[in-house]
Amino acid sequence: MTSQVKVLPSGHTFSAGAQETILDAALRQGIGMPYGCRNGACGACRCKVVSGDFAQLDGYSSKALTEQDKAQGYALLCRAQARGDLVLEANEMSGSRDIPIKTLPCRVEKIERIHDVAILKLKLPVAERLQFLAGQYIDILMKDGKARSFSIANAPHDDAFIELHVRHQPGGHFSDYVFNTMKEREIMRFKGPLGSFHLQENSVKPIVFLASGTGFAPIKGIIEHAIHSGLTRPMTLYWGARRPADLYLRELAESWLEAVPGFRFIPVLSDALPDDGWQGRTGFVHQAVLDDFADLSAYEVYACGSPLMVEAAHRELTTGRALPGDAFFSDAFYLSKDGTKP
């Protein structure tokens, strides 16, 4: 049985299956309900049920939802399932400014090295989940008091871990540490989510993604969120790199071709050698977009990676391809010596 849930005062509606929590259903459909732990501990998802039946599942903290809360018609959405159509009252998150920024410890659960990129999976304390919008970033707080910024590479629904992609910059303080010293189970601290680079959920425009290098990370998060949300907007991903090995998750990007109707993936190499046997596109990644599109006036473009690429894409797509300035969204990686954003 599927129920319809209406949220006041926004009037947004979403459907909720009997076997999923109301919070999961809302997030799956891009409704920005507030949450913290997603396991009944923190109370951040508590909201008033104005009308309708629901089941409050066991396994929540009596501090997160008290007997008095229940008597007054409140529910913990991360531990509740709809049993009919519902009307809720909740303060929805409409953008990155609405999401609380937290400073949290995390454990390095897994380090996977692919070519010169380390894929870190960070685990939060049991009672914490990080609410974020796909495409945002976190600051890793170093022991020397400095912060290193990294985009979140997973989608918000897939939040058991925070995934970061760290390119090795020889001589770089943090990336050298990740490649040479960091061990699994190590504890770090971070602050986030940060940044305003995220999918514009209310738009229906087709999307062009432009990534260079590990600029793929936040775009991966956005695409996985779009897939999970059932987004039907056509999406084209251009991923620029120097040589084939630099497309460090190329098979994942290729798998989206099968999984997502209307998805196109165009890898572009700038420094392929004859030995690479590269048969695909070559040159600068933003040039490939210029070559393929005569008119981008009806599109949105999301660009992430080197400042040179992002700035050239913005300049040339807005002036040469009629892309509206407010349809260009970007996150440029201004590299410090250690290879991270400042």
Residues near ligand FES (CB under 6 A) are 35-38, 40-45, 64, 76, 78
Tokens of 166: 């760290």
Query: For the stretch 319-334, what's the b/e string if a residue is b when 16 or more beta carbons lie within 10 angstroms of its beta carbon?
Result: eebebeeebbbbbbbe
Q: Of 36 and 156, which has the nearer Cβ to ligand FES?
A: 36
Give min distance, CB of 132 to ligand FES, in A: 14
Compute the least distance from the CB of residue 59 to ligand FES, in Å. 10
Nearer to ligand FES, 75 or 208 (CB): 75
Pull the structure tokens for residue 111. Answer: 């380090």
CB of 100 to ligand FES, least distance (A): 12
By beta-carbon proximity to ligand FES, the closer residue of 64 and 120 is 64
CA–CA separation, 191 and 141 (whole Å): 7
Q: Which lies closer to ligand FES via its Cβ, residue 40 or residue 221?
A: 40
| For ligand FES, the closer CB: 40 or 218 | 40
Shortest Cβ distance from residue 38 to ligand FES (Å)? Answer: 5
Q: Give the H/E segment covering residue 25.
A: helix 22-28
Q: Which residue, 209, 249, 220, is CA-closest to 118? A: 249
Min. distance of Cβ 123 from ligand FES in angstroms? 17
CA atoms of 165 and 186, how far apart (whole Å): 17
Q: Which is nearer to ligand FES, 5 or 42 (CB)?
A: 42
CB of 22 to ligand FES, least distance (A): 10
H-type alpha helices, 211-295: 216-228, 250-259, 285-292
Q: Which residues contact 179 (CB under 8 A, 6 or more apart)?
A: 113, 118, 168
